[in-house]
Amino acid sequence: MGLRAPLASEGAKGKGEVASHCPGAAGGIEARVMTDAPADTLTIVLSQMTQAVGDLAANAEAMRSVRARHGDADLIVYPELQLIGYPPEDLVLKPALAARAATLLAELAAETADGGPAMLVGSVERDGPHLYNVVALLDGGRIVAVRRKHELPNYGTFDEKRVFAPGPLPDVVEWRGVKLGLPICEDGWLPTVCRHLAAQGAELLISVNGSPYEIDKDDRRLSHVFGIRVAETRLPLAFLNRIGGQDELVFDGCSFVLNADGSTAHRLADWEAEERVTHWAKDADGRWICAPGVVAAWDDHPADIYHAMTIALRDYVTRNRFPGVVLGLSGGIDSAICAAIAADALGPDKVWCVMLPSRFTSKESLDDAARCADMIGCRLDTIPIVPAVEAFDTMLEGSFADRDVDITEENVQSRIRGVTLMALSNKFGPMLLTTGNKSEMSVGYATIYGDMAGGYNPLKDAYKTTVFALAKWRNAHAPRLSRNPVAPVMPERIITKPPSAELRPDQKDEDSLPPYEDLDRMLHMLVEEEASVDDVVARYGFDRDAVARIERLLAIAEYKRRQAPPGVKLSTRNFGRDRRYPITHGFRTA
């Protein structure tokens, strides 16, 4: 198409050169790659892809495969820390990991001597006692430039200052006569680095990212962060993000290209791998402009939340090599939506549901669970727990002889269910899913070693009102990335009936808790906004004692949450990675 600039290894060489200050480049000597005359057209491929944290060989091979498919491009761009995987957490402190990364990066660089595209690769670099988060430009068989991340995020889910040293304000990289600015993730979220690069004469910003999903974050990235960087610098910008799940984080992609006038030239799909070819040319004033391409539509609510749960669960199960999942299907909405998410993530053949009725389980719940499993298309077994409950009653009757029946006996039932499900997991191999929502986990309305037992919880960061919204949406839609594209997936009665744990006669959740709509408003302010009891009362007019009780329950349930399984982060303040409270403390706002 006439848009490809000649590679350094092709034909006669011009006078330009690119210098690297990377200690590892060319044995510690500045690697120099001679270039032709400055390019006035470029073809840049943005590779929105997943990563396997710690599997450097697999990540390198995946990058090679992308490069092999785009031999006519000038540059292939990969996400932040693509070689080692993001976030590496303390794994990156192992000296062997940095050493292996250096070896593989040198191998990838050597492969660019073939006359094919250059590569912009995220990796780590050790320099004496310091470890840096870097991006390396590989071209002409060499590491021609390395830039270190300057702004290290240290809030919420991020703690990069624990493991990385900050690099200096990065210089531009002159490559093929083009001055590239290479802000790494947080470098673009704050203004300093991009302003510095613009002042140095950068012509084009390429920002590689490891930006995890949060509700409404895609618009925040495009309009309220990187759109502002473009307006401030008057430079075009390519934002590239990874996809896929990593423990409690999930990455949604949503990569894009903005021209200097703020217009969107490209938007890549959310949640899906994509290799977007972008074509760049200089206008009459010598400024780079990206030719327009596909502007993908991104998920609205709650489809984005549902896809976050699905992708996170899929990658957690498959990368930890479980053959599938098992879960208790109670006939209630939480377990029903978890079963649907699991079938969408893995396929219904990898989802094993188990109904564990007690003497308090209603026929309605039995029927609803059976119908739900049939609609999803997954296996359902029924294992009554009555014999085990009776055995425990007999075992404990001497010790409990002078005590009334209370919540203890309710918790025994839940723990019997947990033991039973864990036995199936141990015997046959599927991972046990737990199904408690964020409302319950906030106030401790869950049984430790009972319904909290399991390896992963898709609903950990979803309030009960969110669960209702997801169930209604999923009953009306088959998600585009589903491995079980059927709808509806549960009887309507599961959504409309009052929630109940069914651990005593005629039990309802609202016997112990405020209505979920009220409870979730209280919790959102107390958790996400760190509000006081008085703040909550002032906004909603709730009874002050009721809000104070919820604050107290939130505080005393911290020990349970510390022992809960991981689950996908959806909000700005999930339990675990974001909200890290002491178990033992005496502070209350009321």
Catalytically active residues are 80, 149, 185
Residues in Cβ contact with 398 at an 8 Å cutoff, skipping those fewer than 6 apart: none
Burial of 23 (0-12, 13-18, 19+ CB in 10 A): middle
Q: How far apart are CA 98 and CA 396, in angstroms?
A: 56
Find the distance separating the first CA and the last CA of the chain, reported in whole Å. Answer: 69
Phi-psi region of 79 (alpha: psi -120 to 50; beta: other; left: phi over 0): beta
* Element of type H or E holding 199: helix 191-199
DSSP 82: T
Buried-exposed string 344-359: b where 16+ CB fall within 10 A, e elsewhere = bbbbbebbbbbbbbbe
Among residues 276, 42, 266, the alpha carbon closest in space to that of 175 is found at 42
Residues in Cβ contact with 192 at an 8 Å cutoff, skipping those fewer than 6 apart: 150, 151, 169
Largest CA distance in the chain: 96
Q: How far apart are CA 407 and CA 411, in angstroms?
A: 6
Burial of 402 (0-12, 13-18, 19+ CB in 10 A): exposed
Q: How far apart are CA 483 and CA 485, in angstroms?
A: 6
Q: How far apart are CA 347 and CA 485, in angstroms?
A: 9
| 42 token code pair | 């470029």
Phi/psi at 67 (5° precision): -60, -40
Q: How far apart are CA 226 and CA 483, in angstroms?
A: 34
Among residues 34, 38, 40, 41, the alpha carbon closest in space to that of 18 is found at 34
DSSP for 436-502 reads: --HHHHHHT-S-TTTTT-SSB-TTTT--HHHHHHHHHHHHH---TT-SS--S--S-HHHHHSPP---
Among residues 267, 268, 277, the alpha carbon closest in space to that of 44 is found at 277
Phi/psi at 476 (5° precision): -105, -10
| 273 token code pair | 């791998």
Instruction: Identify the bridge partners of residue 46 per DSSP, sorted by sequence position.
Output: 77, 276
Triad 110, 111, 113: Cα angle to 5°: 75
Contact criterion met (CB below 8 Å) for 431 and 326: yes
Contact criterion met (CB below 8 Å) for 431 and 456: yes
